[in-house]
Structure 1
């Protein structure tokens, strides 16, 4: 039976719930729109196709528009977060480390878990399988395509692990050039403009190379489609943590938690968009913390010190 007391109690409860809802949405006044900046690991059109469904999903889950910004290089993502223009970012491990080392206050929230159960990958150096280079030692004095100065698998890891093995990238190879993206490095090798190329590698059937092959964009100098067997791995790094999705530390705590939850729930809530991020090779997003990247921070610092010694 309804009476004044129950009606009054219901009114108070409604006001309390409205207050909670209002408090939860307070951040929307400050952030009526969010931006996700991503590193250009692939060419611009492929990157856009891969990440646009993610921003559509985040827009739905967060209740505000999330726009995609595909950076021209890895440093651009760092600077976008430094300036506060990208509230969410997808980094490579080394570019995340560079951001932290240069004072960007950003917090990793999620990382991809691959079909092999691991939340990480390797750096490899490829040569052509029909070429004369069968080991890393065979590449002394030859031309190497790196990816980007802030790429993990495409620059920092090869420098760090080859130095550990007594090979300085800048003196061991005759020339080391930056291709700008993982795709471009592999294409340079395929077309014969370099002798070897650094790249990322998750497993035999999941790498940047296999994704290029799946999309039909990998062709040799004569325009013939290439397959995985046309390439030889002559160097493989130690295991590296996967690149994180990271949020600005200055964001409201409830917004940061909402973004993290959206990532962790994506495989169930929007499987098609999630599968599109890896061509169906990943199984989930896992939570991650800054401590997980401390070894990469140390690797980048070591490389910086070596560069200073050589300058």
Structure 2
């Protein structure tokens, strides 16, 4: 944990903000009634038909752990997923750190269930990456010498994911504000100023893709000049065309078998101009919907060797299965505390 905190501190100084994720069981008495089914609500990023088998695999794990039928609710908007679990209409959700914080603020019974470790099998490297990208062929204008800088994004059309997205809004806007607050012109710039574009605004136009895939599609269809999205959600759809993964200057290409919204964008390329580490996203649970036993049984299942070795959950690189987590080392689910999300809470202060 000390290494994570150290990484976060250095990242802030370099305008690279880390977002937190975590996991703990909430308190609840066993005499509280559980429902006859367990509802899992999914963000738009994980709601596509191409990830149905992956969602079903998580459902099977929960069904086996509890003996109850699992119902999946897919969504088209971050806020719908957040409201669904916060309003006690779902028991579990896979959420970004910002979404978790918002849900927990609305309902203190929303608690972390499990978070994916890093390659080491620990929390020390439990990170993914928030990108700012531009279309291939336009990247040179964002350089100062041989280095990419954010200066030239001013006045551009940008696409974010959702204002409830950690890596698709909170982290990139913090980076932008931190960077431009050092200039006289934008010394008073705030994150809220980046929600809308227009005359005398920082951006000429601001779009929201609704998902990381949608934000990337806004860029590749030229609706936006610049876009923010993350590496993990795009992993099923893209491949490195040139460069080192998650590094400024690296070119990514849409795969020839990429599903919606990329079916008409195969072969299109984009270039990363900024890449910031973000703490991994959690599965969250509603402890006012699940009994103590259900919470423990589901958490025990997620932390089990059976799930760690499940290739439909931790998907090997060589597999053609479309999943949420790519197995690159000793990845597994871990339990963490709610306080691990405090860096994200701090971003809103």
Please tell me the TM-score bracket, short chain as reference: 0.7 to 0.9
Task: Write out per-residue CA displacement over residues 100-125 of structure 1, whole angstroms, 9 at most, x where no aligned residue.
Answer: 22334211021112436522222110
User: In structure 1, what is the equivalent of residue 209 of structure 2?
Assistant: 179
1:223–1:39 distance in 2 versus 1, CA, 3 Å? closer
Deviation at 1:52, TM superposition (A): 1.7
**Structure number, greater radius of gyration:** 1
Task: Write out per-residue CA displacement over residues 70-128 of structure 1, whole angstroms, 9 at most, x where no aligned residue.
Answer: 12211112211222111111111101011122334211021112436522222110012
Is 1:127 aligned with 2:134?
A: yes
1:196 to 215, 226, 243: 226
- 1:58 is paired with a residue whose SS is helix
Aligned residues of 1:190 and 1:220 also touching (Cα < 8 A): no
Q: For structure 1, list consecutive stretches of 5 or more residues without a partner in the other structure.
A: 1-25, 202-206, 303-311
- 2:113 is paired with a residue whose SS is strand
Aligned residues of 1:110 and 1:244 also touching (Cα < 8 A): yes
Q: For structure 2, list consecutive stretches of 5 or more residues without a partner in the other structure.
A: 1-29, 143-148, 182-188, 239-254, 316-322
> Which is richer in helix?
1
1:155-234 matched pairs, under 5 angstroms: 155-166=169-180, 168=189, 169=194, 170=196, 171-201=201-231, 207-213=232-238, 214=255, 216-217=257-258, 223=264, 225-226=266-267, 230-234=269-273
Total equivalences in the alignment: 268
1:39–1:222 distance in 2 versus 1, CA, 3 Å? closer
Give the TM-score taking structure 2 as reference length: 0.69
Deviation at 1:147, TM superposition (A): 0.5
User: In structure 2, what is the equivalent of residue 204 of structure 1?
Assistant: none
1:27–1:77 distance in 2 versus 1, CA, 3 Å? farther
Aligned residues of 1:98 and 1:297 also touching (Cα < 8 A): no
- 1:115 is paired with a residue whose SS is coil
1:198–1:84 distance in 2 versus 1, CA, 3 Å? same
- 2:210 is paired with a residue whose SS is coil
Aligned residues of 1:42 and 1:182 also touching (Cα < 8 A): no
Task: Write out per-residue CA displacement over residues 246-273 of structure 1, whole angstroms, 9 at most, x where no aligned residue.
Answer: 1113232222111111111153463334
RMSD of the TM alignment (CA)? 2.8
Aligned residues of 2:87 and 2:107 also touching (Cα < 8 A): no
- 2:312 is paired with a residue whose SS is helix
Aligned residues of 1:219 and 1:226 also touching (Cα < 8 A): no
Aligned residues of 1:187 and 1:218 also touching (Cα < 8 A): no
